[in-house]
Amino acid sequence: MERFAKRNSIALYRRALDLFTHFRQGAGLEKIALITGGAKRLGRDICLSLAKEGFDIALHYHTSTDAAEQTRKEIKGLGRRCFIIQSNLNEPVLHSELIDAVYHHFGNLTLLINNASIFKKLDFKHTSPMDFDQNVMLHMKAPFFLSQAFSKKCQKGAIINMLDTRVDQYKTEHFVYTLSKKSLKEMTLLLAKTLAPDIRVNGICPGAILPPENQGEQYLEQLAQKTPMKHPGHVQDILSALLYLTRSNYVNGEILYVDGGERLT
Ligand SMILES: NC(=O)c1ccc[n+]([C@@H]2O[C@H](COP(=O)([O-])OP(=O)(O)OC[C@H]3O[C@@H](n4cnc5c(N)ncnc54)[C@H](OP(=O)(O)O)[C@@H]3O)[C@@H](O)[C@H]2O)c1
């Protein structure tokens, strides 16, 4: 009899916990974000900016172990929880396992930022099948299946895809990068329609913000001279766009260009 009462009260407690979690998710009170490629550069700044905004962070990275650990320390220094996950999104991984790992750790996930990327100068004629696969896996397949797994679990949340102002241009020197980011833009819009009203899906198109890792500031300055604003943008410009999309309850299917008007050239 005593054992029966104990089992009953555990069941009641679990039910209450479920209801509480359901309420918090529905009311959008929980703030837990997964950022792919979050160890350094823009990904790191996105993690820190979201941590300051009150998000607990699931930081995904591929090779930058030390940088991921350093970013984790900084996030914890801001008083937020941080869970690190390593994986190569170019391998035939089960993307749902990544989402499951975050749910297992935090019990919830409310924001997915598809940020991981490669940016290789490659024209059409020199693009190998492997280059093609890597770009498509990273810029399309991973966002597709991470979004799918996220949408199956999340009751109220948002997805932000990091695109590029090139999605509306026809520059050909990064052919397969541009092609795969153009596809990601279309996926963003299709998903905004598919996943509403529970999940909002938006995109950000940076212009000249950070030089590629093998280039210096001069690369950016030269690029920026060809844009209407004639100077590069700041990381803070991207973070402002990100926070705008994150804070909104209504913006859906929006592509924000943070490019100084580069897409118009
Ligand atoms: N920088 C700019 O000015 C600019 C301009 C236009 C668009 N964007 C877009 O904004 C986003 C952030 O830009 P960024 O320049 O900071 O990006 P990035 O440095 O080119 O890449 C971000 C991260 O992607 C991860 N990544 C690469 N290959 C991976 C793989 N196979 N599996 C898993 N992760 C992988 C890397 O993680 P590890 O370091 O851990 O290996 C890397 O740190 C990107 O989507 C980019 O396309 C940026």
Q: Check if the beta carbon of residue 137 is closer than 8 Å to that of residue 90.
A: yes
Number of domains in the chain: 1
Domain containing 152 equals 32-264
User: How far is ligand 1, taken at its centre, from the CA of residue 96, in Å?
Assistant: 21
- Percentage of residues of the chain with pLDDT beyond 90: 86
Polymer length in residues for the chain: 265
Q: Is 46 in the pocket of ligand 1 (CB under 6 A)?
A: no
Q: Tell me whether residue 24 is in a domain.
A: no
Q: Tell me whether residue 116 is in a domain.
A: yes
First CA to last CA distance, the chain: 78
Q: Tell me whether residue 159 is in a domain.
A: yes
Q: Is 177 in the pocket of ligand 1 (CB under 6 A)?
A: no
Q: Tell me whether residue 94 is in a domain.
A: yes
Q: Tell me whether residue 9 is in a domain.
A: no
Q: Check if the beta carbon of residue 229 is closer than 8 Å to that of residue 261.
A: yes
Q: Check if the beta carbon of residue 184 is closer than 8 Å to that of residue 228.
A: no
User: How far is ligand 1, taken at its centre, from the CA of residue 95, in Å?
Assistant: 18
Q: Looking at residues 57-62, what average pLDDT do you find?
A: 98
Q: Is residue 230 packed enough to be buried (19+ CB in 10 Å), middle (13-18) or exposed (0-12)?
A: exposed
In angstroms, the CA 143 to CA 116 distance is: 9
Q: Which of 49, 59, 62, 134 to mutate to test the pocket of ligand 1 (most atoms within 8 A of CB)?
A: 62
Q: Tell me whether residue 20 is in a domain.
A: no
Q: Is 118 in the pocket of ligand 1 (CB under 6 A)?
A: yes
Q: Looking at residues 173-194, what average pLDDT do you find?
A: 98
Q: pLDDT category, 23, cuts 50, 70, 90?
A: low
Q: Tell me whether residue 247 is in a domain.
A: yes
- What's residue 91's pLDDT? 86
User: How far is ligand 1, taken at its centre, from the CA of residue 116, in Å?
Assistant: 4
CATH of the domain at 114: 3.40.50.720
Q: Which of 117, 137, 188, 220 to mutate to test the pocket of ligand 1 (most atoms within 8 A of CB)?
A: 117
Q: Is 66 in the pocket of ligand 1 (CB under 6 A)?
A: no
- What's residue 8's pLDDT? 65
In angstroms, the CA 76 to CA 37 distance is: 18
Q: Is 167 in the pocket of ligand 1 (CB under 6 A)?
A: no
- What's residue 177's pLDDT? 98
User: How far is ligand 1, taken at its centre, from the CA of residue 26, in Å?
Assistant: 32
Q: Is 232 in the pocket of ligand 1 (CB under 6 A)?
A: no
- What's residue 28's pLDDT? 58
Q: pLDDT category, 6, cuts 50, 70, 90?
A: low
- What's residue 20's pLDDT? 58
Phi-psi region of 261 (alpha: psi -120 to 50; beta: other; left: phi over 0): left
User: How far is ligand 1, taken at its centre, from the CA of residue 117, in Å?
Assistant: 4
Q: Is 32 helix (H, G, I), strand (E, B) or coil?
A: strand
Q: Tell me whether residue 152 is in a domain.
A: yes
In angstroms, the CA 159 to CA 34 distance is: 10
**pTM score over 0.85:** yes
